[in-house]
Amino acid sequence: MSAFSNIRRLLHAARVLAKHDALVPREYLDRMPASAKFARSILGLGAGAGDLSLPPGARLARALESLGPAYVKLGQILATRPDIVGDDIAGALQTLQDRLPPFPKTDAIAVIESEFAKPADGLFASLGDAVAAASIAQVHMAETREETPRRVAVKVLRPRVEAEFARDLSAFAFAARMAERVSAEARRLRFIALVDTLAASVALELDLRMEAAAASELAERTKSDRDFRVPAIDWDRTSARVLTTEWIDGTPIREPAALAAAGHDPKRIAVLIIREFLTQALRDGFFHADMHQGNLFVDADGRLVAVDFGIMGRLDPAMRRFMAETLGGFLARDYRRVAQVHYDAGFVPAQHPMDTFAQALRAIGEPIFGRAARDVSMAKLLQQLFETTRRFDMPLQPQLVLLQKTMVVVEGVARSLDPDFDIWEASRPVIEQWMIAQVGPEARLRDMGEGVNALARLARDLPQLLQNAEVISAMLAGGGLRLHPETVRQIAEAQAQRSRYTRAAIWIAAGALGLVALGMIGL
């Protein structure tokens, strides 16, 4: 999109935010520079846009919902970045509801027929009205056209949703680039990386084959878990814009009374939710990152069933060990150990004394011990931990941000089922079992085996390594390293290509700045 188009879309968003008093909220007006106050007066305020008595975060959430799908997704990303929007705003954005009115069933049928190049009634004997609708897609209940029909859930992308997201993401990227060019604070907060994260997340959600693959992978990883399952994928009726899975007959988690009426103990389900989430994160390094009430059910056998796999989180082995040792250290009140884990991972620069960092961790952990279970929040502890590590110059860890965001949601779901829920006692067996598996005798033997294999590979490659060393030594003795002529030519071409790209980037940047200046003058 052109700079003018981006500016026009951003101005529209700014006016909507201003009408909700969410762009420069009056509560923060005394801290704002004169330019911000002037912009606030120009853009207008509260022109019938909603309840201005709401707190700033709630007003921002309402404004983002009114702006459409891309802004809802942006708000969900900002909810994980209290360093940008502040703790109060981030907390309010956690409540953003990804719900929209459904689009007509006839449009859904058109998408299905376009994807599979055949009439919809050749795939489905029946297709009901939408049972759930969000910013990207909506879900219909259907029956397959087979000798033995099966009930299935059919998820269909909204018509033209890709183009709508592309326009708004272009505007977001434009704003992020401009902000980082003029603001050191924007560069520190990595606005461009924030938009890149949003764009990558949306790209995955806009291809329903990726969601199907995520569900399939999670099902494979958790197939031995007795109390958790994933709906089966119908690959014959799945494409980029249509996802078909088995229909789940279960009781929604959001209805504790219905759970009890169906013979399920809500307190048991609360424990199950936390343990399953931590098991996925620590044992598998692959977890459902959108475990809100609408995506969780309990089947007739008492198993937890998850749906909607558009947002998944991954933790590599090093990050899983870091997370488990951090939580385990807090459980044991061993703050020095928690500090050591951060330093071993290279997350806290060495110029900060470890004892000072351990003291800061103690200030987080001690207040939670001896308190009632209902007053102790693991999600809050993780949030305080990340705030503290930022003060000690720990860089943002995207894997942990998504984990902490999901923990907030999961903990809230568990407490809705059991207000006295003790998240620490529920979590302890999972954390301790994982730690034993990682650092116990069996793990030591496994590590020794891996070490032996590594030595064997080194011994195998040693003759070639020695030969390479002799060749390099001879070259150095003869006046320096000599590259093959073809290699020299490729390096020269690559360097010239990079120089052309660099010059082009400079001119593009200069042109964009000029367009912005013209646009602002026109305002």
- Provide the residue type at 140 as one letter: H
**Dist CA 92 CA 94 (whole Å):** 5
Helix residue ranges, H only, 32-160? 34-43, 56-67, 69-78, 82-85, 87-93, 105-116
Helix residue ranges, H only, 68-140? 69-78, 82-85, 87-93, 105-116
Answer left, alpha or beta for residue 91, where phi above 0 means left and psi between -120 and 50 means alpha. Answer: alpha
From first CA to last CA, the distance across the chain in angstroms is: 20
Active site residue 290: yes
Pull the structure tokens for residue 241: 């814009």
Residue reference for tokens 């009930």: 151
Catalytic choice (98, 168, 234, 290): 290
Phi/psi for 216 (5° steps) reads -65, -45
The SS3 assignment for 99 reads coil
Residue 498 CB partners (closer than 8 Å, separation 6+): none
Angle at 432 between CA 431 and CA 438, to 5 degrees: 90
- Provide the residue type at 273 as one letter: I
Angle at 477 between CA 475 and CA 482, to 5 degrees: 25
State the catalytic residues: 290
